[in-house]
Amino acid sequence: QVQLQQWGAGLLKPSETLSLSCAVSGGSFSDDYWSWIRQSPGKGLEWIGEINQSGSTNYNPSLKSRVALSLDTSKNQFSLNVSSVTAADTAVYYCARVVSVFGVVLQPFDSWGQGTLVTVAS
Amino acid sequence: QSVLTQPPSASGTPGQRVSISCSESSSDIESNYVHWYQQLPGMAPTLLIFKNSQRPSGVPARFSGSKSGTSASLAISGLQSEDEADYYCATWDDSLGAWVFGGGTKLTVL
Would you say residue A115 has pLDDT above 90? yes
Cβ pair B50:A110 closer than 8 A: yes
Neighbouring CB atoms inside 10 A of A97's CB total: 25
The burial of B22, by beta-carbon neighbours within 10 Å (0-12 exposed, 13-18 middle, 19 or more buried), is given as: buried
Rounded to an integer, what distance in angstroms lies between the CA atom of residue B107 and that of residue B31?
Answer: 28
Q: Residue B23: CB partners within 8 Å, gap ≥ 6?
A: B4, B5, B29, B70, B71, B72
| Pairs across A and B, CB distance < 8 A | 55
Query: Is B92 in CB contact (< 8 Å) with chain A?
Result: yes
Rounded to an integer, what distance in angstroms lies between the CA atom of residue A55 and that of residue A50?
Answer: 10
What number is the average pLDDT over the span B75-83?
98
A58-99 residue pLDDT tens = 999 999 999 999 999 999 999 999 999 999 999 999 999 999
Q: B99, B101, B105: best mutation site toward chain A, by most A Cβ within 10 Å? A: B99
B17-65 residue pLDDT tens = 999 999 987 766 678 899 999 999 999 999 999 999 999 999 999 999 9
- CB B37, CB B88: distance < 8 Å: yes
Beta strands in A1-122 (DSSP E): 3-8, 11-12, 18-25, 33-39, 45-52, 57-59, 67-72, 77-82, 91-101, 104-112, 116-120
All residues of chain A having their beta carbon less than 8 Å from the beta carbon of residue B104 are 44-45
- CB B105, CB B19: distance < 8 Å: no
Rounded to an integer, what distance in angstroms lies between the CA atom of residue A32 and that of residue A18?
Answer: 24
Higher pLDDT residue, A64 or A29? A64
Cβ pair A58:B35 closer than 8 A: no
CB-closest option in B92, B97, B103 to A44: B103
Q: A5, A32, A47, A104: best mutation site toward chain B, by most B Cβ within 10 Å? A: A47
